Structure 1
Amino acid sequence: MLSQLRIIRVCCGRVKKISQMGILIVSLITLQAYADQKQLYIYNWSDYMGPETISQFEQKTGIKVTYDTFNSNEELDTYLMTQPPKYDLVAPTSNFLVKQIDAKIFQPLDKTKLPAYDKNLDSKMLKMLAQDDPGNQYSFPYMWVSTGIGYNIDEINKRFDNNPPTNSWALIFEPENASKLAECGIAWLEAPSELFPLALNYIGLNPNSADPEEYVKVAKLLNNVSPYVKYIDSTSLIDDLASGKVCVAIGWSGDVYQAMDKANQLHNGTRIDYVIPKEGTFASFDVFAIPQTAKNVDEAYQFLNYLLDPKVIADISNYIYYANPNQVATQFVDSNLTQDSDIYPPDEVLDNLFTLTPKSPRIERTIKRAWADILETRSLAHLSNEIN
């Protein structure tokens, strides 16, 4: 009996050791497989990719994508300027790109690795982008962006006796109009680098002014209407326009159109529209660029080539409602988008657009101080309303 027990113990001990060895081998194999798997790290705007774009790329290439998002150019710029980026692709807007190129954050694009670049991308769009990236050396154009007014048709008509000035920035920038909209909710983008040029252009000044006094003048205009603003945020606009929590917003075109779509899905009776005001707005590109510190450069080029596929980029445009610069993709983009003059503007609208140029450190400091004052004015006004 003792010998039998001894045999069982020895046997079971061997089984346990063999089992532990098996687990160790499987774990090592799993770790090696994970180490061998190709990786790609992307940093992009929130709500700015198709729902299956990344997963389909992973299935097609076997590359594991880590996809993170940010909410403003200021947020991305601070990250890029203060620490070595861990990402292989980042997505700045073209007017911020200039300073980042000067800081040598990005590596030049090797267009021999992008065989469809010249064939598929619109030369007119590349020429516009070249104002910020001479020779299109560092940037891969992703989407064309305009900033305009998104508004709830019925709520705005109700407050302006069916005659609202929706074709003008006056709807938002004049106190007598903003005061009528405070109850139903005004939203601003959290983007002072955009709001100041828009306001400068509205009052007839150079949107790329280099005069600090002109920014002070615009700051007074924004301060006068800021107490009527419900919030300043770039991430809540889509849901809040769609649900009726705000009735008017300074917004990016695609975000407003996403709000329209979401309102239709909610069947809540909310009707949303988007307009580029008659005074004009600025044109910019959101681009992808490869940081100098990127570790997965070949994988980054595989993703850029994936975006050059006309059907891939068209599917993204159809989902996020932004115009893309891939001229071959236009045939696959929903005709409701391509025929909308606020998404794919005709020449007469394009002629009324402007681009943003880099600001000097002095102007950037002026904007930063003025923006802080505006936020403080809003806070004090909202506190006063709560007390009363």
Structure 2
Amino acid sequence: MSPTALMLRWLPIVLVLAFPGWAFPAWAQDRVVNIYNWTDYIDPSVLAEFTAKTGIKTRYDVFDSLETLEAKLFAGHSGYDIVLPSNEPSFSRLIRAGALATIDRDKVPNWKNLDPALMRRVESSDPGNRHGAIYLWGSIGLGINPDRIRALAPDAPVDSWSLLLDPAWAKRLAPCGIIMMDSAIDVIPSVLHYLGRSPDGSSPDDLAAVLKLLMAIRPYIREFASGGALEALATGQACLVLDYSGDVDQAAARAKQAGNGVDVEYVAPKEGSEIGFDMLAIPADAPHPDAALAFINFVLQPDIMARITDATRYPNAIPATRALVRPALLVDPNVFPTEAVQKRFFTIGPSAPKADRARTRLWARFKAGS
């Protein structure tokens, strides 16, 4: 090796030894946590406070469907340190694929604040709760503008999935705007349950029944959306939306604040609603796993999680927050459902790849209307 080549080979080490304060390479001292979360799903001041107290910067991106999240994670090298999949089917699917890291609880002392009973409910997705902590939870149901619905159909069954899934009612309500959540993962189990079938059903007969029902209401759906449905509901551009409970409650709060005369309500249909838990998890290839653990520990503080519930209008899994959450939310049954409503909730289980592919094909046909 020539003297010049030898000098170039050892130059980086010499520079680090001579100037230990240099960031060489730059990423070695980069204190940052890259977060991938649902749209409108945190109090932004929490991110600023985390940085102020830990010195760790946050880079924050959002998604509006589980399909989008899964595509990022299964592709690998997403660059994210914190992701928030729903316990089923995404969280369990990512665990089985080896896409999520186990949590070192010694570095998350605030884990003790979590409700053991709620954490047991997600053990079917994550045995031993090794890969994630509950962040927030909620149900899937209907967001409605009752005044506009009654103007078109005074006798409409506003407490039932029939309002959307019965083509006779969908046709009557189409003029005031119907939006369907753009997620096969979230919609198909609710349709199966409405049909009296297992929400985990994936037989050809199950999926044929789902497709028949969905195609019957397809002409009356104005658009498919997830995050965008919140704004459409709040501004009166839509009167009927299939969406998450907290999103609808956020829309109601925005409409009230705007004073635009739009009344928004969330309906957990009498036939039953799917309940899901969104999990704080760390990708197996996270570039900053220690920063991720620090973030999880920070978020699991009661005062921090109470602020997140206040901002998002979704319940959390930390009992101590009940004394800290805004009193108006504590008595809001859409945020903290009554026992009677909770008895109607159902959960879904893990799904097989073959079933996932069949549902994806079904969803594509439904959206295309063919």
With the length of structure 2 as denominator, give the TM-score of the two structures.
0.90
Tell me the equivalent position of 1:99: 93
Tell me the equivalent position of 2:65: 72
The amino acid that maps onto 2:58 is: V
Q: CA contact under 8 A between 2:156 and 2:169: conserved in structure 1?
A: no
Tell me the equivalent position of 1:117: 111
Say yes or no: does 1:168 pair with 2:170.
Answer: no
In structure 2, C-alpha distance between the alignment counterparts of 1:332 and 1:374, rounded to whole Å: 44
Say yes or no: does 1:139 pair with 2:126.
Answer: no
Equivalent residues, number: 349
Say yes or no: does 1:269 pair with 2:275.
Answer: no
The amino acid that maps onto 1:332 is: L
Q: What SS does structure 2 have at the residue aligned with 1:77?
A: helix
Q: CA contact under 8 A between 1:94 and 1:287: conserved in structure 2?
A: yes
Which protein has the larger Cα radius of gyration, Structure 1 or Structure 2?
1
Instruction: Note the 1:82-231 alignment, pairs <5 A.
Output: 82-95=75-88, 96-118=90-112, 120-161=113-154, 163-231=155-223
In structure 2, C-alpha distance between the alignment counterparts of 1:31 and 1:117, rounded to whole Å: 35
203-212 vs 340-349, which moves further: 340-349
Distance change in 2, residues 1:211/1:56 (3 Å): same
Once superposed, which parts of structure 1, at least 4 consecutive aligned residues long, lie more than 4 Å away?
28-35
Tell me the equivalent position of 2:51: 58
Say yes or no: does 1:305 pair with 2:297.
Answer: yes
RMSD of equivalent CA atoms: 1.7
In structure 2, C-alpha distance between the alignment counterparts of 1:49 and 1:346, rounded to whole Å: 24
Tell me the equivalent position of 1:22: none
CA displacement at 1:212 relative to structure 2: 2.4
The correspondence for 1:331, drawn from 318, 323, 344, is 323
332-341 vs 97-106, which moves further: 332-341
CA displacement at 1:166 relative to structure 2: 1.1
Percent of paired sites with the same residue = 34
The correspondence for 2:251, drawn from 250, 256, 259, is 259
Say yes or no: does 1:353 pair with 2:308.
Answer: no
Q: CA contact under 8 A between 2:245 and 2:335: conserved in structure 1?
A: yes
**Structure 2 portions without partners, runs of 5+:** 1-20
Tell me the equivalent position of 1:5: none
The amino acid that maps onto 1:356 is: I
In structure 1, C-alpha distance between the alignment counterparts of 2:363 and 2:217, rounded to whole Å: 13
**Structure 1 portions without partners, runs of 5+:** 1-27, 381-388
Q: What SS does structure 2 have at the residue aligned with 1:85?
A: coil
